[in-house]
């Protein structure tokens, strides 16, 4: 049975969730594990006790393997001296991650709300769960106005049967 990478190497397809890097890796991991269980059930009638893909491998898909796919592996994708690194700190004390037995799986299963801090190119962009970007209130106002314009425009469009 082909693995998930073989099944999804073509163009197209649908995105089942918001574009959050950990969520995408987590969903891909779940799909592969589902395929593993289906193959084992077909062969033995039992569920699989092991998986062909680990949380560490899935996290690599979103980091070093993603960098390779984009042709950026010489600059990003790993935390090493000389590499560009944007760091994300996950609050593993959150109830949706508790108990956190495996740090890699904890990061992989974290949600956007679990991100406590973000460091981009040496500058803090988020600390203590708060965004630090200047002008957020102005940006919110612009987004609200944009949404109102869109809704107004939709309201004036006639629907065709």
Band (11; pLDDT cuts 50, 70, 90)? very low
Alpha-carbon span 159 to 147, nearest angstrom: 20
Band (21; pLDDT cuts 50, 70, 90)? confident
Does residue 159 register a pLDDT over 70? Answer: no
Closest-CA residue to 25 (of 7, 40, 5): 5
Mean predicted confidence (pLDDT) in 136-147: 92
Domain annotation covers residue 28: yes
Contact 58, 30 (CB under 8 A): no
What's the total number of domains in the chain?
Answer: 1
Domain annotation covers residue 27: yes
Q: What is the pLDDT of residue 156?
A: 60
Q: Which residues span the domain enclosing 43? A: 1-79
Alpha-carbon span 118 to 128, nearest angstrom: 10
Domain annotation covers residue 139: no
Domain annotation covers residue 114: no
Q: How many CA atoms lie within 13 A of 27 on its CB side?
A: 13
Domain annotation covers residue 59: yes
Q: What is the pLDDT of residue 143?
A: 93
Contact 61, 28 (CB under 8 A): yes
Structure pTM? 0.66
Domain annotation covers residue 113: no
| pLDDT tens profile 28-62 | 999 999 999 999 999 999 988 888 999 999 999 98
């Amino acid at each position: 049975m082909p693995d998930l990478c073989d099944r999804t190497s073509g163009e197209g397809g649908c995105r089942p969730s918001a574009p959050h890097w950990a969520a995408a890796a987590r969903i891909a991991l779940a799909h592969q594990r589902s395929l593993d269980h289906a193959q084992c059930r077909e062969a033995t009638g039992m569920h699989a006790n092991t998986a062909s893909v680990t949380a560490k491998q899935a996290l690599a898909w979103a980091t070093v393997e993603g960098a390779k796919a984009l042709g950026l592996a010489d600059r990003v994708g790993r935390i090493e001296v000389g590499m560009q690194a944007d760091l994300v700190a996950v609050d593993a004390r959150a109830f949706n991650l508790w108990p956190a037995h495996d740090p890699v799986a904890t990061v992989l299963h974290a949600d956007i709300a679990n991100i406590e801090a973000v460091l981009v190119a040496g500058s803090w962009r988020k600390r203590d769960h708060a965004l630090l970007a200047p002008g957020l209130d102005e940006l919110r106002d612009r987004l609200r106005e944009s949404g109102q314009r869109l809704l107004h425009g939709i309201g004036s469009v006639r629907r065709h049967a």
